[in-house]
Amino acid sequence: MTSTSTTAQGALVTPAQPASEDVGVRQLLERGRRLSTPALRSAVERLAAPMDTVAAYHFGWIDAHGNPSEADGGKAVRPALALLSAEVAGADAEVGLPGAVAVELVHNFSLLHDDLMDGDEQRRHRDTVWKVHGPALAVLVGDALFGLANEVLLELGTVDAGRATRRLTRATRRLIDGQAQDISYEHRERVTVQECLEMEGNKTGALLACSTSIGAVLGGADDATADALETYGYHLGLAFQAVDDLLGIWGDPSSTGKRTWSDLRQRKKSLPVVAALEGRGPAAERLCQLLTDDAKKSQEQFQEFQESEFAERAALIEEAGGRDWTAEEARRQHATAVAALDDVRMPDRVRAQLVGLADFVVVRER
């Protein structure tokens, strides 16, 4: 892993074919945010009080006291993909806007509920909604965002909007399935790499897949085109998640906004961990022993661990090959994603931007 972990940009993974900076990925993300935020805000304004305020807090538009703020609202990869996908179908980016809003609403519905279910107290360097506004409103506002997502699409009243909503509904159900798997895996002693990939495909892949097809569907693309775009988005999601799992152990807290060894502290069975445990040799054996003992400890005992104890586990995961395997997996998923675009006719600029986005996702800084 030294070759990838010591690149100039501090990236954890380098794709086989890095794109040039010229395709303007940052501008693309910026466009996604610029176009979708006003539409998202006006959708959220439809919510009855106090749900509108709670949602505005979640999105970072106001602080906990209700004062305007400009907190980090996330990378907005999904809206950017939705707008770009309309251009795949030859339509204006704006045609994908209701889709961009809908996927972002569903994404944030799942964040609200997942944070509550997982007991996570921080998101994007701020207290989570249930911490600030209580569990009831976290449930309710999540529900409202879910409903709003369907509403925004269906009120277009077109056949294509119905098709788009159906894809979104399917993706949302997979998102929920993924969270169910995630929760049930927590109570299991052992999870296979295959199970982990399936869970991550549901939790992350399905909605990124839908984000990449929804604008195209609204722009009149046929189902074969939409399916190929979903293949791209799905594998993009898995690449994204593999990188996220690397960042969850070896990421720099100042960029990730999480503590050091974040996923290890949560005893998360992420890809590097499960891949390492499937390895053979003394490092895998020692790791297995340690994690089995860890599982018996209470959350309180575990929180008292020294930095060196997490560092030991991270080193064993790396020695047992979990880090290399995950970085390699990110590259494999990246390649599969990009290859899926071969099946779709689209303007060269749009293709270059989709490839650029895939590169961006994989080469995120730590």
Who contacts 313 (Cβ-Cβ below 8 Å, separation ≥6)?
A: 261, 264, 287, 290, 291
Residue of 26, 34, 125, 173 interacting with its own copies (CB under 8 A): 173
Residue of 39, 40, 44, 51 interacting with its own copies (CB under 8 A): 51
CA distance 307 to 312: 9
> Is 8 or 49 the residue whose CB approaches its own copies more closely?
49
CA distance 330 to 44: 35
For residues 228 and 344, is the Cβ–Cβ distance under 8 A? yes
CA distance 190 to 274: 8
> Is 135 or 253 the residue whose CB approaches its own copies more closely?
135
Site string for its own copies, 96-135 (x = CB under 8 A): -------------x---x--xx-----------------x
> Is 84 or 140 the residue whose CB approaches its own copies more closely?
140
Q: Within positions 80 to 99, which residues make up the interface with its own copies, using CB under 8 A? A: none
Reference 114, options 180, 163, 63, 54; nearest CA is 180
Quick one: which segment of 14-22, 48-56, 120-128, 269-277 binds its own copies (CB under 8 A)? 48-56
Residue of 64, 183, 295, 339 interacting with its own copies (CB under 8 A): 183
> Is 16 or 136 the residue whose CB approaches its own copies more closely?
136
**232: contact with its own copies by CB under 8 A:** no
**179: contact with its own copies by CB under 8 A:** yes
CB atoms within 10 A of CB 279: 17
CA distance 228 to 341: 7
For residues 264 and 313, is the Cβ–Cβ distance under 8 A? yes
CB atoms within 10 A of CB 46: 12
Number of residues binding to its own copies, judged by CB under 8 A: 41
Task: Report which DSSP code applies to 18.
Answer: P
For binding to its own copies (CB under 8 A), which residues are involved?
47-51, 109, 113, 116-117, 135-137, 139-140, 142-144, 146-148, 150-151, 154-155, 157, 159, 161-162, 165-166, 169-170, 172-173, 176-177, 179-181, 183-184
